[in-house]
Structure 1
Amino acid sequence: MYKLLAIDLDDTLLTDDLHITEGTKEAIEKAILQGVTVTFATGRSFPSASKIAEQIGLNVPIITYQGSLIKNLLDGEVLYERSVPAAAADLIYDYCEARNLHLQLYFDDKLYVKEYNEKVKDYVRLTNLPYFIADNFRELAKQPQTKMLIIDDPALLDQMAVELQVILQDQVHITKSKAHYLEFLHKEGNKGSAVTFLANHIGCEIDQVIAIGDSWNDREMLEAAGLGVAMGNALDELKAIAGYVTSSNNEEGVKHVIDKFILQK
């Protein structure tokens, strides 16, 4: 019944120590052999996500930057791309400058920061992604941004999200991939839009899609998919809208979904 499986990475496919279990790898291989297209749907950049895809031998388009970029793993062909509108990017930049906030820019598949600090250090450790210090950060912010990200205290970011939603209105999609990451994207740069596009691209109906995630940035794809699955470690708000709740990322929750709904063990 299911032809497309879209899996979030952090706290979903990856364990807390950022690994994929052997059992999960084997389940994915079996799903692929059964004719299912298995892909990622992640907030990570394409370079970061592609390193993980190599570990399990994927060769399909993957959804990155929260759904702002879908790109082929084999030849790098871009199938779907959305950027933060220039007017919105200016407002976000000015908001961060006025409050001395840590802002990260994602342009041309590269991560740019204004300066190196502990926030950058922790982010790079998690994503295994190189970074570049921009000589003229303000001018770089005027380029088409695939994503803009603020790193700060979770409660403070929740407050900022409300304020910026009022300022930006419907110009952008605002979401959180982790409690301390507040992300800004094109309003069509969400996992729901991207999964719908990819399903159409490979020729399957949206009700033939399984989407698995753990955080609020996964909400749109869980709502769009035929079967939206929340991890056992997911936010309670995500579990409330999911069609199924599996075990946690440390208990092979993804493998359990594949076994139950695709391999039908």
Structure 2
Amino acid sequence: MAYEILVLDIDGTLTTSEKKVSERTLNAIFQIQERGHRVVLASGRPTPGILNLAKMLKLDEYGGFILAYNGAKVLDCKSGKTIYEKTLPMELLPELFEAAKEYKVGMLTYDTEGVIGFHVDEYIELEGRINHLSVKSVDNLISHVDSPVNKCIMTGDGMYLAEVEKKMKERFGDRLSIFRSEPFFLEIMPMNIDKAYSLERLLEHLGMTKEQMISCGDGFNDLTMIQYAGMGVAMGNAQEIVKEAADYITLTNDNDGVAHVIEKFM
């Protein structure tokens, strides 16, 4: 079967170690879109942190998609419409904010303009820099959240945050998905969110099957979509568990691994 849709993780997959997209990869992506193939950017990043990259790849012109927050939101770049979304229960947000104060950790979420942070530390600043977003420091996170959010992150030093993670799972583990994406980031998300589940919703929307899809990734959060896709591709720099699950292992993100996949299979 011909592959019609290409799903790309961003950090460690599409972008190099310097957070750039190589010219060869960029041209390969333009060429398949010219031929009618769809491109999806699937990342743990917030939506505002993906928009510039999507524009650079011309997803708004060719009809590509953004899958943000590890799958909690799927956006049609051409129409600007949300195809699928799962948000944190609004009634739990005050409890989460109180927990951040109690444990004396930083906490962030996002609005349409950027990052909103309580007890802003170096890690909240880092989240802003990674996503090229402004950071707004606030005393009360809840009073600045006027619409449902897809994700919150608690921040702090790794050893201490490991203790906070245990306590948070005891308090909220039956209602929320709580995990560390980095030693200093404790992510709080709606239950049962992953990239594969959201891609299934997108394929239903498009009337396509998973056999028509290639997924490329390098990290643990890419595992489900690599297992789900018709062809799951691990980057040469991927974690070992991702390589074991993949149908094909391409070159590294610093050696045009994505372009290699496009040229070989699409």
TM-score normalised by L of structure 1? 0.87
Return closer, same or farther for 1:227/1:150 CA change in 2, 3 Å cut-off. Answer: farther
CA contact (8 A) 2:107 2:119 kept: no
Partner of 1:171: 175
- 1:144 partnered with 2:145: no
> d(CA) in 2 for partners of 1:190 and 1:178?
17
Partner of 1:5: 6
Partner of 2:213: 209
Partner of 1:41: 42
Partner of 2:255: 251
Return closer, same or farther for 1:245/1:90 CA change in 2, 3 Å cut-off. Answer: farther
> d(CA) in 1 for partners of 2:265 and 2:186?
33
> d(CA) in 2 for partners of 1:218 and 1:176?
15
CA contact (8 A) 1:175 1:217 kept: no
CA contact (8 A) 1:68 1:188 kept: no
Choose which of 211, 218, 234 in structure 1 pairs with 2:238: 234
Shift in Å, 1:141:
6.3
Moved over 6 A (4+): none
Choose which of 72, 75, 82 in structure 2 pairs with 1:68: 72
Deviations 1:150-203 (A, max 9, x none): 234456555654553343334223345445433221124321111111111112
> d(CA) in 2 for partners of 1:247 and 1:157?
34
Deviations 1:55-78 (A, max 9, x none): 121122211111111122234211
Secondary structure at the aligned position of 1:74 is classed as: coil
Aligned residues: 262
Choose which of 197, 202, 225 in structure 2 pairs with 1:198: 202
The AA in structure 1 aligned to 2:25 is: T
Shift in Å, 1:134:
2.8
Return closer, same or farther for 1:110/1:124 CA change in 2, 3 Å cut-off. Answer: closer
CA contact (8 A) 1:175 1:216 kept: no
> d(CA) in 2 for partners of 1:239 and 1:156?
31
Return closer, same or farther for 1:252/1:183 CA change in 2, 3 Å cut-off. Answer: same
> d(CA) in 2 for partners of 1:12 and 1:110?
24
Return closer, same or farther for 1:79/1:242 CA change in 2, 3 Å cut-off. Answer: same
RMSD over equivalenced CA pairs, Å = 2.4
Partner of 2:17: 16
Structure 1: gaps of 5 or more residues: none
Secondary structure at the aligned position of 1:136 is classed as: coil
Choose which of 82, 103, 119 in structure 2 pairs with 1:78: 82
Shift in Å, 1:83:
0.5
Secondary structure at the aligned position of 1:12 is classed as: coil
TM-score normalised by L of structure 2? 0.87
The AA in structure 2 aligned to 1:119 is: Y
Quick one: percent identity of the two aligned structures? 28
CA contact (8 A) 1:96 1:103 kept: yes
Q: Is the deviation greater in 172-181 or in 34-43?
A: 172-181
CA contact (8 A) 2:8 2:40 kept: yes
Return closer, same or farther for 1:158/1:224 CA change in 2, 3 Å cut-off. Answer: farther
> d(CA) in 2 for partners of 1:52 and 1:236?
27
- 1:122 partnered with 2:123: no
